[in-house]
Amino acid sequence: MKNIDLSDSALIVVDMQNDFLPGGSLEIPNSDTIIPVVNEYIKFFEARGLAVIYTRDWHPENHISFKENGGRWPRHCVQNTWGSEFHPQVYLPKNYLVISKAFYPDLEAYSGFQDTELNQKLNEMGIKNLFVCGVATDYCVLNTVLDAINLGYKVFLLIDAVKGVDLNPNDSEDAVKKMVSAGAELLVFEELLQTI
Name the minimum Å distance from CB 113 to Zn ion.
Answer: 15
Residues annotated as catalytic are 15, 101, 140
Name the minimum Å distance from CB 165 to ligand VGL.
Answer: 6
Q: In what order do the strands lie in the sheet with 51-57?
A: 97-101, 51-57, 9-14, 129-135, 154-163, 185-187
- Crossing angle of helices 171-182 and 142-150, rounded to 10°: 10
Q: Which of 40, 46, 57, 147 binds ligand VGL (CB under 6 A)?
A: 57
Choose the one of Zn ion, ligand VGL, none that binds residue 91, judging by a C-beta under 5 to 8 angstroms depending on kind. Answer: none
Interaction between residue 19 and Zn ion (CB under 5 A): no
Interaction between residue 140 and ligand VGL (CB under 6 A): yes
Choose the one of Zn ion, ligand VGL, none that binds residue 15, judging by a C-beta under 5 to 8 angstroms depending on kind. Answer: ligand VGL
Q: What is the DSSP string of 69-119?
A: GTSSB-S--BTTSGGGSBPTTS---SS-EEEEE--STT----STTTTSSHH
In order of 55, 56, 70, 72, 81, the CA distances from 61 in angstroms are 19, 15, 13, 15, 10
Name the minimum Å distance from CB 25 to ligand VGL.
Answer: 10
Tell me phi and psi for residue 180, to 5 degrees.
Answer: -65, -45
Compare residues 15 and 46 and give the one whose CB is closer to ligand VGL.
Answer: 15
Q: Which of 41, 44, 73, 131 binds ligand VGL (CB under 6 A)?
A: 73
Q: Which of 91, 139, 153, 189 binds ligand VGL (CB under 6 A)?
A: 139
Chain residues that interact with ligand VGL, rule: CB under 6 A: 15, 57, 65, 73, 110, 135-136, 139-140
